[in-house]
Amino acid sequence: MSTDTKRVVYRLPDMDTVSVRCDLSYKPDRHPDLTMDVYSPRGGKDSDRRPAVLFVHGEIPPRAVPHVKSWGQYVSWGPLAAASGMIGVTFNHRSTERYTTFRDAIEDIDDLIAYVRDNADEFKIDADRLGIWTCSAGAYLGLRAAFHNAPASIRCVVSYYGIMDIGHYRSVEDTAAARRIPDDLSPLHHLDQHPDPVPPMLLVRAGGDRPQLNATFDWFLTECLARNLDLECMNHSEAPHAFDVLDDSKRSTEIIHRTLEFLTTRLVRELDSAGD
C-alpha cells in the first residue's frame, strides 16, 4: 500500500490556519533542487523567536526525493508542529540508494541544520532550540545529526519505527555489507568516542513492524539504557510500519499526542520556565 497520500491520523484545530513557505532552497549554490517548507503559527510579534522541529525523512529512491515534502505524512506533521506553537521544517535530502552511499544524505542534513541556524531570524526561529523528528530508515541519519549537533542547537529527538543503527541492521542479513558501513554512522559509536551530553529521546516502536527492524530497535534501546541515557520509549504493540498514517486507532493518537507534548515540553515549556 502506498503511503504517499495518507495523512497523519491525528489533527489539531489550528492545523489548517498555519502559515507555510514552500520550496525554499537550503543549498542554492550547489543543489537548488534540495528545498524545505517552513510551517509557522500565524500571529505573534516580529521579535518572537520560536523553537523549530526538523523532519528528517526515511530512505526513498532518487526519483522520489523531489516529491517527499508533499507526501501526506509531511504536510500533516509540519502543520501539527506549527499548531503546537513551534516552527515545522520539512525538507528533502538525497537518497542513500539502498544504503550504498551515505555521505550525500549526511551532508544535506548537516547543511539544512546550518542553514536554519544561519537564517533563523528570517524564519523567526530560535536557532538554539531545535528538535529532530525522524522515522524509518532516516532514523540513524537523524540521530547522527542530533548527537553531533547537541547540545548547542539540537535539544531533543523523536524517532518513529526507526532503523536506529544501520550497521547493526545490515549485520542481521549481510555481515559483509555491515563491515563496509563507516563507524561514524553509528550513534552509539559516536557516544563511545564523544561522551558528551546527548539530547533527550522519544523512541517509538511499531510492534507489527519487520522483525529485522525491531531487532535493531530493541538492541539500540538496550544499549541506550545501559548508558543511562535520557529517553522515553512508547510501544504500539500491533502497529505496522508508518502507523501514524496507516493505523487510525486510539493508541496511534495517544502516541502522536504524546509526541507533540514531548516536543513542546523540551522546546517550548522549558524555554518559558527558564525565562520566568
Q: Which pLDDT belongs to residue 177?
A: 59
The enclosing H or E element of 35 equals strand 35-40
Q: What is the pLDDT of residues 35-92, one digit of tens each?
A: 999 999 998 788 899 999 999 999 999 999 999 999 999 999 999 999 999 999 999 9
Q: Is the pLDDT confidence value at 181 over 80?
A: no
Q: Is the pLDDT confidence value at 21 over 80?
A: yes
Q: Is 14 helix (H, G, I), strand (E, B) or coil?
A: coil
Residue with cell 537518497: 95
- Let me know: does 246 contact 240? Beta carbons within 8 Å: yes
Model pTM greater than 0.85? Answer: yes
129-143, 148-162, 176-190: range with lowest mean pLDDT: 176-190
Band (2; pLDDT cuts 50, 70, 90): low
Q: Is the pLDDT confidence value at 102 over 70?
A: yes
Structural domains in the chain? 17-275 (3.40.50.1820)
Q: What is the pLDDT of residues 57-73, one digit of tens each?
A: 999 999 999 999 999 99
Q: Is the pLDDT confidence value at 243 over 70?
A: yes
Higher pLDDT, 43 or 266: 266
Q: What is the dihedral of CA 85, 87, 90, 91, to 10 degrees?
A: -170
Give Cβ neighbours of residue 29 (< 8 Å, ≥ 6 apart). Answer: none
Q: Is the pLDDT confidence value at 269 over 80?
A: no
Class of residue 272 by CB neighbours under 10 A (exposed 0-12, middle 13-18, buried 19+): exposed
Q: What is the pLDDT of residues 183-214, one digit of tens each?
A: 778 888 888 888 778 899 999 999 999 999 99
